[in-house]
A and B are shown apart, each in its own frame.
Chain A
Amino acid sequence: MHISEGVLGGPVLAAGAALTLAGLAVGLKKMDFDRLPQVAIMSAAFFVASLVNVPIGPVKEHLILNGLLGLLLGWATFPALFVALALQGVLFQFGGLTTLGVNTFNMALPGVLCYLLLGRLARNGGRRLPLLAGFLCGFLSVGGSALLVALSLATAGEEFLVVARLVVVAHIPVMVIEGVVTASMVGFLRRVRPAMLGMVQQS
């Protein structure tokens, strides 16, 4: 979900940059040096995982997984996504320098919200509730990002209202799939490596 260069106006770009800077400041401050390799390598892992193309009916969509990233990294989601998107811009020229702020914020905020609202449910809860939390996390974070992208586009002018609506509608099936995959991943991580979700590992 990238907004490419040249679409948005100055105020929106500036607002996106300011919000992302604030998120980065919080994220970096909360992240100690001993978590550095973890955040960076997990960010790279998510980048690779987002290359996975999942069939949805006749089309294939790549996973986004910003909800799970948020769940695992908390506020560090901001720096993690910033780094991934910045390098994507420099290496593949997908999204550029001026849109980096808006794009990072649109992807990272829903992830952080998932962490704040659903984190506890995904860690504790019984057998089923964590799966529900996982589903909501994937479903809502993709939905939230699509909504933020649509809102950003809508500021670019009336011409963009059709595109903005399409962005939201096109992401509805992706939201469901992301929900299912994220729920399944939460279940998997709880069984295989609960510490990753911030749970105390029982040996």
Chain B
Amino acid sequence: MHLETFAHGHSPLHRLDPRAKLAAALAFSLLLALARAWPLLWAGLGVGLLTVGVARLPLVELAKRLLAVNLFIAMLWLLLPWQVVDSPGWLGLGLAYHPHGLDMALAITLKSNALVLVLMALVATSPINQVFHALAHWRAPVKLLHLFFFFYRYLHVLHREYHRLDWGLKARGFSPGSNWRTYRTYAHVSGMLLVRSYDRAERVYQAMLCRGFSGTYWVLDHFAWQRRDTWFLAVWSLLLLGLFALGRTLA
């Protein structure tokens, strides 16, 4: 399971301070999530495409992520135009067709895609540990930081563990179906995964205590805020102000 697909690159965005990028992504998300005006939504998508372009993300992987997001949205295109009415409408199902729902689906499509693009270009371009580090700088609760760190550290380990259990099932000729036996088997496999995780957590904690763990979240390499980070934030703020003004004047 390789997760940090976009983190290794050489674009200008990859080199920026994660704090700057995270702040920029948060501001953009808030602005766009609350946006209503059409020009703002289209412009937001434009900004998303632009940032992804600047980040020079691998296209195949990018397309895969976008496909996953838009498969869900495609469902909304099918469902939103239908409204529940009291009288037996279309096919007697009590549904009526309202084209207005399509507008809503389009708005959601634009927003979702814009936000996902910016998230990929600005947040996923930092190694995940640096994102935690940025949160540490912002005085996020230290317990929460530890949770993030451990979660990510052991996710891969547990995924391997799960695959081992799964191979075990396959080696014994298990083929899933809709029956009690299948559900019980899956329950026991998941239960075993939890038991092993629990035991592992115990060992990890003891090892940490042996190494003098006292609750501090240590970071080894430190950020150095550079002039380019300030420039990036300045340009980004102007961009967002422009979008905001656009939404105001045309709403």
Interface positions of A (Cβ within 8 A of B)? 4-10, 13, 24, 28, 31, 33-34, 36-49, 51-52, 54-57, 63, 65, 72, 79-80, 82-84, 86-87, 89-94, 96-99, 157-163, 165-166, 177, 180-185, 188-189, 192-193, 196
Contacts and interface: CB of A to CB of B under 8 A. Distances in A.
A56 B183 CA distance: 10
B155 A49 contact: no
Interface stretch (B8-16, B142-150, B223-231): B142-150
A44 B197 contact: yes
B222 interface: no
Interface stretch (B99-107, B232-240, B242-250): B99-107
B47 interface: no
**Top 7 A-B pairs ranked by shortest CB distance?**
A6-B111, A40-B150, A184-B187, A45-B197, A188-B191, A98-B33, A41-B201
Q: Is the interface of B mostly helix, strand, loop or mixed?
A: helix
Contacts of A184: 183-184, 187-188, 191
Contacts, number: 229
Given A31-B143, A41-B150, A52 B186 contact: yes
B219 interface: no
Given A41-B154, A162-B84, A189-B194, A13 B148 contact: no
Given A97-B29, A163-B76, 13 more contacts: A24-B141, A36-B143, A41-B150, A41-B154, A44-B150, A48-B158, A52-B189, A55-B176, A91-B128, A92-B68, A185-B187, A188-B187, A192-B195
B107 A37 contact: no
B224 to A, nearest CB: 23
